[in-house]
Each structure stands twice: as structure tokens, then as C-alpha cells.
Amino acid sequence: MKQTLLILTACLATHASAWQIGDFVLSQARPAGIGAVQPAADGKYYYQISDNERNIDRIDYNSGTSVKPMLRTDELTGITVDSWDGYEVSGDEQRILLWTKSEDIYRYSFTADYYVLDRRTNRLTKVSESGGEEIATLSPDGNRVAYVKANNAYVLDLNTGSTTQLTRDGEKNKVIYGVPDWVYQEEFGMLNSFAWSPDSRTLAFIRWDESQVPMYSMTMYEGACNANSDYALYPGSFDYKYPVAGERNSVVNVVTADVATGATRTLQREFDYIPHLAFARNDALMVMTLNRTQNDLHIYRVNPADLSMADIYHDTSDTWIDSELARSVTYTDRFLVIPSERSGYSQLYQYGLDGQGLMRQLTTGEEPVTAYYGHDAKRGQFFYQCTAGPLCRVVRSVDAQGRVRDVESRTGTNRAAFSSDFSYYIHTFSSATTPPQYRIVRTRDGRQVRSLETNEDYASRYLAPDVPRREFVTCQSDGYTLNGYLIKPADFDPTKRYPVIMSQYSGPGSQQVLNSWKMDWETWFAMQGYIVACFDGRGTGARGKAFESVTYQNLGHYETIDQVAAARHMASQPWVDADHIGIWGWSYGGYMTLMALTQPDHPFAAGVSIAPVTSWRFYDTIYAERFMRTPQENAIGYEQSAPLNRVENMKGDLLIMFGSADDNVHIINAMQFIAKLHDQKSQFEMMVYPNMNHSINGCGVREPLYQHVLNFFDRKLKDKQ
């Protein structure tokens, strides 16, 4: 589930000299954080779940005092709960939606047992007797809960206890209501399409008809961790709908329901994609649509009473529209605010809801907006985060007269989480030399109210002289300056020559080189005598649309040129062993590892590719077609961008690793590449993780995974020196 702030676990740390790889992989050397925070409606308080996940406190922004605890689980009767997985508080604070016993479906979706606590009576109501609901969502007035069960939408009236079934034709792998299909969850980040009108009278949601989407089947084994004895002698399967590039997507429609009567209506218009659905504060339904090519975006204002539509916003692009940016749109009762890259850099625009079109461009310049925090109507200010040079992030505001003010601008990465009325914000700051710090600040004058966490003890231990540090560097490639960082051994000696591990992800819009705190396996590898180098090549984010979209319809080409150039730059340094440079990556980074090792005359001695795409023909429609269009439109691009079609150029030692139950990058990617390696009589190493998904996580597998990567590089980059 997504929360306002990421929960970071504070663990006891040992001195650097006693560190093991597990300290980095298993979070034992991470800084302390604060529990996830949700602002209360009045702007004076916020909610925070306790460390044991059993209680919810209501905390005063100004004093830090816990006032009128929202929930004390030990005081509830008739239920035994070890911990709550999440919660949602109604606007009037009289009811709390809680869930427990979450069970994953895909990477981000889950079923759970949902309950509603009425604080006035201390009565706990189970949303459905048998449990196992999805995306349960409170109405704004707190009187109803919408939820999905067995692919159908329901509404529970908390005052009467009656349940209304809104849809009846939902069926697994055929029709889904409310809960997005797999590809929407993975590539649009949409986990819940329920949208309540502000007056709580109307519920809107999306219907996905995936009956014509091709089925994908993954083989499942008994396994040893969380073993499934049903598959002890004969493997089982996990079957779901997965549209690969060029194949059919789900047919999507918007449905509205009058919750008083249960009557539903369907908007009689089909769209390729509906990446966002929400109500404005004036009870108008706002429907965002994208064409399949993902370069033509509309926002329609829909009247829930008669489903009449008005097109109030339109944006186009020669390449693609960043749907993640577009989905950060917010609506008031009079206007919307949305980021667009139409100027070449992501900036904020204000549009009227009543057909008046563009009211004003709120931000300008060549520093892309990276987050929009909202509008303080009382003071007429819009708050946002933007770059200050690609490596840094600042928080700013712009007022009705266009005056821009720095809210938080320390050199590094600044973030803000505002109270509901924008009177306060929680400021998070970190840099390459400063572990995360959290404090509450009063917005009107920028004065610190109180500190939440400074990580002073952590800093005193892990900023010691014998701990490797990141340093930022640049290199040249094809006429471009690339940003990068190095991590050298703490006892670095410029008269020696070191092996290098190139770390990269390289995917469109991503960014690895950022002035924020990071200490993980890379630090450990540097402690083992490597120089770790990372460079963001063309296609990565925070440098404007032109830099990012140069890879359009030609994924992998320019990114590979840039990684090779970065490796040659490293090889030219007097303290680098030019014959012992490795490269590694996961997912898109795994894809790039294979592209690099199959690039003619590359300088890499070895590479580790984890969960790689080997042909975009195997990958899903939304992601692959966003950057490549369909295979039917761009056959040459798909052909040239596939490592699968470059195996004859393979040079260097390879370790390929993947989970057998990866629902994102399917096992076919690795298997087809391996088959071609066999055909070429090439030698390589492989590690398979049975029943593991794309993250290859859980059951303590991460520590041996990274140890295996290190052992491989030790054999290929050190033992051969």
C-alpha cells in the first residue's frame, strides 16, 4: 500500500569493520525513519500507526502530543488481531477502515479482511463475513464502504448493515470491476479505480473486459519456502491475462452507480486506456484517457446524472506522454492542475473545469517539476518539487502573481508532505553525505516546529573514515555529458589499479545518479576492493524531454553506446584495471547488461543480468508500446533492440539470474536467450529461483543472491588479474 512517507526501519548497527553483506542487503545498516503519516482533515493533526501496528495515534503537528487516540486494538472486543496492515480514516474521524490478513495477488494488489470501527460506539463491523475483499474504500461521509469480491463491486451501508451488489458478471480472467487488470497495475500504477463523488451519492469505477486478452501460464513448483504440497509430484500453474506488445488489451468502460438505489450506468464510449478516474470537488466526474500509442491525452468532464461529456483538456506529444506525471493531476471545484512536458520540460498548468481552457502556466523554465503537492486556496499558493540541476531536488511555491519562492532548498534532495490546510509540512532531507532527516515546519514563515528524526547516532557510525563514500563525476559520450557517481574503497590508493563494477538501470525516465542518501550492496562491494561506477545515460530522467526521448522507437541503442562510453572513460583512469570491468543490472538494467555484452568491441570482461527482457516482443503492451509503438508499426525497432537477436556478438563472461514465477518479465525471456547461447555453443552461468517473482525477495534469498553476484565478479574480475 502507498503511504505519505516511506517507513524506514531503524536497526542496531555495528562498527564498519564488523560489517557483513547481510548488513546492507537485510536493512541492518539503514538509517532510522518515521512511521507512515496521514494528514487529518482539520490540518492540525496527523495520524500515525504505532510501531507494533496495533494502534493509531492522532498527533498534534505543533506539539507532537498524541490527542484522543484513534484506535487501541487491545480495547476491541470480539476480535483477535496481531497487527493491522493498513487503515483509512473518514473525514469526520468517526469511522476507521482497517484491514489485516493481506494476501498478495500480484506485486501490488492483495485481498484482505476489512473491518470498520465506529469510534462513537467502539463497534467493529466486518465488511463481509467471509473476508477476502479487495480495494475496500470509504465514502467521503464515512457511511458506506465500496469493495470488490470475486471481480464484482459491492457497497456496504454502515448505518443499516445492508449490502448492495452493484455488478454481477464479474469473473476471473474475463471481467473485472473496480480492480485494475495486471497491466494497469504494473504500468499505470493504478491499484484502485473506485472514485466517490464528494457528496457520497455516486460511485464511479472502471470495467475491464479482459476476455480477449491472451492467457499466460506460469509453472509453479512445491518449493521449499512456503512450500505447496499440492505440487509435490506434479507442477501446478498460475494463469492470468497478460497482453504482450501488439496483442489485444482489455476493453475498458466507465461505470457509475447511484448508491442509494444500486442502479448503474455505463458510459457508452470505449477508450484505449483510462489511466485516471476522479471526482472534482463540484461532483463532476473527471475521466482521463490515452490512445494506444500513448501520445494523445484527454480529460473529459462527465455529468454523473446523464453521462454527458465535455472535453476540457488535451495534450499531445511527438513521442509519448508521461502518464505517471499526468496522473498527478488534482481537481478543485473550479480548475485542475496538471504537469505537461509540452515546453520540453515538465511544468505545471492550470485549466478551468467549465470549458475556459488554459487559465495560466504556473511554472516555467528548464528545471522539470518532479512532484506536485497541491494548492493552498486560502493563501493562493501552489506547492511543488522540482530539480535544481539534475542531481538535486528543491521544494518551491508559486503564487497567483507568478512569484516563485524556495520553500526548502538545501543542496541534496528535499521533499515535503503537507498538512491538509497547508499550515505545516513534514520536511525530509538527505544527500550523499547526510542520512535522512525529518522535521515539522510551519509553512507561513519556514520556522522549524520540531525535529522528528536526525539520525545523528547513525551518522556517527556510518560516516566514519573507513566507510566508502559516493563522489559525483561526469563523462562524455557521443557529444553528451553524462552524470555519474563512483564509490571507491575507503583505503583507495591512486597508485594501484582496481577492478570496476558498472551499476546501472538505464530505463526511460529513471535516475540512479541523485544527490540523496544511499548505502546498500554497492558500499559492500567497494569494501571488497572494487570501484563501483554508475552513469545515467541518454533516456534517463530529470534532464528534459529531448534527452529522455532520444531513445524513442529504438530502445537500448543509445543507452548501450553511453554505457560503453562510460566504461571506456573508467578504463582510461590510471587507477582502473581496464581489463577487468564488469557490468550488472536488474530488469531494464539486466536487459542493458545483455545489450552491452552483445555490443561489438565492448570493454566488459563480465556481466550479471538479473530478470532481463531479451525482446520487447515478450513484454507488455503499455510499457513496450509507450516507447516502441507496436511491433506492427516498428518491426525494425523491435528487431534491433532485442539482445535475443545479437547473441552472435556475445563476448565476456555472463551470469544470468531470474525467478521462475516472474509475472512481469516472464521466464521466456531468459529461456530463449539461453537457447540461443546454447546454439552458439557459448559458455555462461545461470541461477534460477523457483516460484520467485520479479523482485526475487523473501525467504532470506537476497543475501545469498548478492553474495553469488560478488562471488561471480571475484572469479571473473579478480582471480584473472
Write out pLDDT tens, residues 592-604.
999 999 999 999 9
- Residue 165: CB atoms within 10 Å: 12
Element (H, E) at 480: strand 480-487
Collect all residues with Cβ–Cβ distance below 8 Å to 673 and sequence separation of at least 6: 594, 612, 614, 643, 644, 647, 656
Sign (positive or negative) of CA dihedral 14, 16, 20, 22: positive
- Looking at residue 432, its pLDDT comes to 97
- Looking at residue 689, its pLDDT comes to 97
Collect all residues with Cβ–Cβ distance below 8 Å to 8 and sequence separation of at least 6: 30, 31, 32, 33, 34, 436
Low-confidence ranges of the chain (pLDDT < 70): 1-18, 26-29, 720-721
- Looking at residue 28, its pLDDT comes to 59
Are the CB atoms for 357 and 351 separated by under 8 Å?
yes
Average pLDDT, the chain: 94
Alpha helices in 182-279 (DSSP H): 182-187
- Looking at residue 1, its pLDDT comes to 38
Pairing of strands 576-586, 498-503: parallel
For 303-380, where are the E strands, in sequence order?
Answer: 309-316, 330-331, 335-340, 347-352, 358-361, 369-376
Are the CB atoms for 189 and 327 separated by under 8 Å?
yes
Are the CB atoms for 338 and 332 separated by under 8 Å?
no
Which amino acid makes up residue 621?
Answer: T
Burial 311-349 (b: 16+ CB within 10 A, else e): ebbebebebbbbbebbbbbbbeeebbbbbbbebebbbbb
Half-sphere exposure at residue 613, Cβ-oriented, CA atoms within 13 angstroms: 22
Residues in the chain: 721
| Angle at the Cα of 343 from the Cα atoms of 338 and 348, rounded to 5 degrees | 25
3-state helix, strand, coil in the chain (%, to 5): 15, 35, 45
For 25-122, where are the E strands, in sequence order?
Answer: 37-39, 45-49, 55-60, 71-72, 86-89, 95-104, 110-118
Give the integer Cα–Cα distance in Å for 21 and 671: 30
Domains of the chain, first to last: 468-718 (3.40.50.1820)
Give the integer Cα–Cα distance in Å for 116 and 196: 18
Element (H, E) at 241: strand 236-241
DSSP letter, residue 690: T
Are the CB atoms for 615 and 672 separated by under 8 Å?
yes
Are the CB atoms for 127 and 112 separated by under 8 Å?
no
- Looking at residue 69, its pLDDT comes to 86
| Angle at the Cα of 524 from the Cα atoms of 522 and 525, rounded to 5 degrees | 65
